[in-house]
Amino acid sequence: MDNIVDLEKHFQDRIDAEQRIEPKEWMPDAYRKTLIRQISQHAHSEIIGMLPERNWLTRAPSLNRKAVLLAKIQDEGGHGLYLYSAAETLGVTREDLLDDLHSGKAKYSSIFNYPTLTWADMGAIGWLVDGAAIMNQVPLCRTSYGPYARAMVRVCKEESFHQRQGYEIMMALCEGSEEQKQMAQDALNRWWWPVLMMFGPKDDASANSEMSLKWKIKRFSNDELRQRFVDMSIPQIEYLGLTVPDSELKWNAERGHYDFGEVNWNEFWEVVKGNGPCNHQRLETRKKVYEEGEWVREAALAYADKQQVLRESSQHVA
């Protein structure tokens, strides 16, 4: 089977038969590229996503919240790591991927370019941002590339507490004082629309969707997942006694879904292009962290090299 057409057919047959593709197997170049782009984008999102929550970690209003939030942010770091590892099975190094992030070539989820302004944002992020992420991620546990699917199984398993801790923060606020309720409503107002943007552009404007669906990297379209998220969130918002910042939102009995207003796609594309409130800040922070860590990484390698030489010379003596 050396003819490219045969190879591609065999590949697509395996995908259609729900078989997982594993590292080192033959795969179309575009499949590999799409995966590297998507997995690394996902990994970067986890790492950058640590920053907005880190912003309130040191101000968490109880020891319990502090411990939970730290564990949660730490998990995000772990998820970034699983995903970088999955990407590395495709023949790129983490260093390459980070270089692309730092140069602005690689993207990450736009949601993390919004600021966290009050403690309630920790609730909104855990509940809504992680909730939307889970909705995107659960289907990825069955994505066609084996290492990615396995990383996602691990991620999803760990994420399950993230959303609950966020909702619990919101519940505490909504059961609290008038100021706390306002804080919760304000957070919902600011995060609702950006969260809906997390599902990506509308299906007819999504450049990568069609092939990704065919290759079963993706399993549902952006609009399908967005609708599902809205349907799921409304009862949760109602339970909290908060108001959705969308005047067009209403139940459509005929469709069996909520109708909702149009996302501000102009804002979406502006943030993607780098003009969101925190794009610059987030990226500069990551670059600085990476540069400041350089001497540590170098020193550890230098030490490992010396130890290696010592081991080898002692073997010669023996």
Partner 1 sequence: METAKNKTNQALFNVVLSLADSTLILSHRLSEWCGYGPVIEQDIAMSNIALDLIGEARNFYDYAAKLEGAGKTEDDYVYFRESKDYKNLLLCEQLNGDFAHTVVRQFFFDSWHIHFLDVLRNSPDETLAAIAGKSFMEVSYHIKWSSEWVIRLGDGTEKSKQKMETALEALWPFSGELMEATEDEKILIAAGILPNFEQLKTIWMEQIMSVLTRATLEVPTGKNTVQTGGKTGRHTEYLSYLLAEMQSVQRAYPGLKW
Partner 2 sequence: MEKNKRDWPLWEVFIRSKQGLDHKHVGSLHASDAEMAIENARDVYTRRMEGVSIWVVESKYLHASNPDEEGALYESAKSKIYRHPTFYNIPESVGHM
Which residues form the interface with partner 1 (CB under 8 A)? 47, 50-51, 54, 57-63, 65-67, 70-71, 73-74, 77-78, 80-81, 84, 119, 169, 172-173, 175-177, 179-180, 285, 289, 292-300, 302-303, 306
Question: Smallest gap, in angstroms, from Cβ of residue 299 to partner 1?
Answer: 3
Q: What's the burial of 128, exposed, middle or buried (CB within 10 Å: 0-12/13-18/19+)?
A: buried
Q: Does 146 bind partner 2 (CB under 8 A)?
A: no
- Name which of partner 1, partner 2, none residue 187 binds, using a CB cut-off of 5 to 8 Å depending on partner kind: none
By beta-carbon proximity to partner 2, the closer residue of 88 and 121 is 88
The verdict on 16 binding partner 2 (CB under 8 A) reads no
Cβ 177 vs Cβ 152: under 8 Å: no
**311 is an interface residue for partner 2 by CB under 8 A:** no
- C-alpha 159/C-alpha 74 separation (Å) is 11
What is the pattern of x (binds partner 2, CB under 8 A) and - over residues 81-110?
Answer: xx--xx-x----xxx---x-----------
Q: Residue 26 interacts with partner 2 (CB under 8 A)?
A: yes
Query: Choosing among partner 2, partner 1, none, which partner's interface includes residue 150 (Cβ < 5 to 8 Å by kind)?
Result: partner 2
Contact call for residues 184 and 173 (beta carbons, < 8 A): yes
Residue number with CB closer to partner 1 (251 or 303): 303
What are the Cα distances from residue 51, in Å, to 56, 57, 114, 292? 9, 10, 11, 16
Residues 6+ apart with CB under 8 A from 62: none
Judge contact between 40 and 106, C-beta under 8 A.
yes
Which CB sits closer to partner 2, 82 or 127?
Answer: 82
Instruction: Single out the residue of 154, 181, 202, 228 in contact with partner 2 (rule: CB under 8 A).
Output: 154
Q: Measured from the CB of residue 14, what is the shortest distance to partner 2 in angstroms?
A: 11
* Residue 26 near which of partner 1, partner 2, none (CB within 5-8 Å, type-dependent): partner 2
Residue of the chain from 37, 54, 57, 78 that contacts partner 2 (CB under 8 A): 78
**DSSP-derived 3-state class of residue 241:** coil
Dist CA 198 CA 98 (whole Å): 22
Residue 189: other Cβ atoms inside 10 A: 14
C-beta of 148 vs 167, nearer to partner 2? 148
Residue 142 binding: pick among partner 2, partner 1, none (C-beta 5-8 Å cut-off by kind): none
CB 201 within 8 A of CB 222: yes
* 296 token code pair: 């540590």
Backbone CA torsion sign across 270, 104, 47, 154:
positive
- Kindly report each contact of residues 208-215 with a partner whose C-beta sits within 8 Å and lies 24 or more positions away, as own/partner: 208/34, 208/37, 208/38, 211/30, 211/34, 212/34, 212/38, 214/12, 214/15, 215/15, 215/31, 215/34, 215/144
CB of 82: closest distance to partner 2 in angstroms? 6
Question: Residue 293 binds which one of partner 1, partner 2, none, with CB within 5 to 8 A depending on kind?
Answer: partner 1
Residues in the chain: 318
Is 313 a binder of partner 2 (CB under 8 A)?
Answer: no
Nearer to partner 1, 84 or 148 (CB): 84
Q: Residue 251, SS3? A: strand
Write out the two tokens for 11: 């590949």
Q: How many residues bind to partner 2 according to rule CB under 8 A?
A: 28
Tell me whether residue 21 or residue 128 sits nearer to partner 2 (CB atom): 21
Q: Which residues bind partner 2 (CB under 8 A)?
A: 22-26, 74-75, 78, 81-82, 85-86, 88, 93-95, 99, 150-151, 154, 158, 294, 297, 300-301, 303-304, 307
